[in-house]
């Protein structure tokens, strides 16, 4: 009985991930990162056959994947990278990089921290902040203040980012 449940669970998971991978075919493949018993997946947004927008979903255990909303202030941007950072006391956090799915904005890069159950722990609203001391007339830059603060509070190590293309 246990073998049958494991087999059915495995097939269910393979089908769910296979569906996501097929959905993203065309421009980019779906990709995933497992962290703390959950898996985050970035794939093409439904209704965007040309894959000009991405969607972030989380799957906890054998539950159905659920879409996570874009962070406030980043509604014009997409999740483009995933990593898993583990603290010294074995707590796991997802780090998601946001930017332009088309990669046309060289200075549009934000990072957000999520708990392993999908709760966002950082914010970047407004998306850009001004700093007149920056060289070359580049007075605006992505707002990463909260990400830096929360990363330090949690003592998150740098973790390699995975990208879909």
- Residue numbers of the domain that contains 147: 2-163
Distance, CA of 23 to CA of 65 (rounded, Å): 14
pLDDT for position 101: 65
Residues 6+ apart with CB under 8 A from 163: 31, 80, 81
Task: State yes or no: pLDDT of 155 exceeds 50.
Answer: yes
Nearest to 37 by CA among 56, 59, 57, 17: 59
Task: State yes or no: pLDDT of 114 exceeds 80.
Answer: yes
Task: State yes or no: pLDDT of 22 exceeds 80.
Answer: no
Distance, CA of 15 to CA of 157 (rounded, Å): 33
Average pLDDT along the chain = 82
pLDDT for position 151: 97
Q: How many CB atoms lie within 10 A of CB 1?
A: 5
Number of domains observed in the structure of the chain: 1
The answer to whether 32 and 39 have CB atoms below 8 angstroms apart is: yes
Split at pLDDT 50, 70, 90, the class of 14 is very low
pLDDT for position 28: 63
pLDDT for position 137: 66
What phi-psi label fits residue 30: left (phi over 0), alpha (psi between -120 and 50 degrees) or beta? beta
Dihedral, 26, 73, 114, 53 alpha carbons, nearest 10? -10
Q: How many CB atoms lie within 10 A of CB 52?
A: 13
- The pLDDT tens digits for 64-87 are 999 999 999 999 999 999 999 999
Portion of the chain with pLDDT greater than 90, in percent: 59
């Amino acid at each position: 009985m246990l073998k049958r449940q494991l087999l059915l669970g495995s097939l269910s998971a393979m089908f769910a991930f296979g569906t996501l991978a097929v959905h993203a075919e065309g421009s980019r493949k779906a990709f995933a990162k497992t962290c703390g018993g959950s898996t985050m997946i970035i794939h093409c947004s439904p209704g965007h056959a040309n894959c000009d927008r991405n969607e972030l979903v989380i799957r906890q255990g054998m539950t159905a994947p659920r879409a996570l909303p874009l962070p406030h202030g980043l509604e014009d941007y997409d999740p483009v990278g995933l990593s898993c950072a583990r603290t010294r006391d074995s707590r796991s956090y997802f780090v998601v990089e946001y930017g332009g799915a088309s990669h046309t904005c060289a200075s549009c890069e934000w990072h957000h921290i999520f708990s392993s159950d999908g709760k966002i722990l950082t914010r970047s609203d407004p998306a850009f902040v001004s700093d007149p001391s920056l060289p070359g007339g580049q007075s605006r830059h992505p707002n990463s203040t909260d990400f830096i603060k929360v990363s330090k509070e949690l003592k998150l190590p740098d973790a390699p980012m995975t990208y879909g293309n």
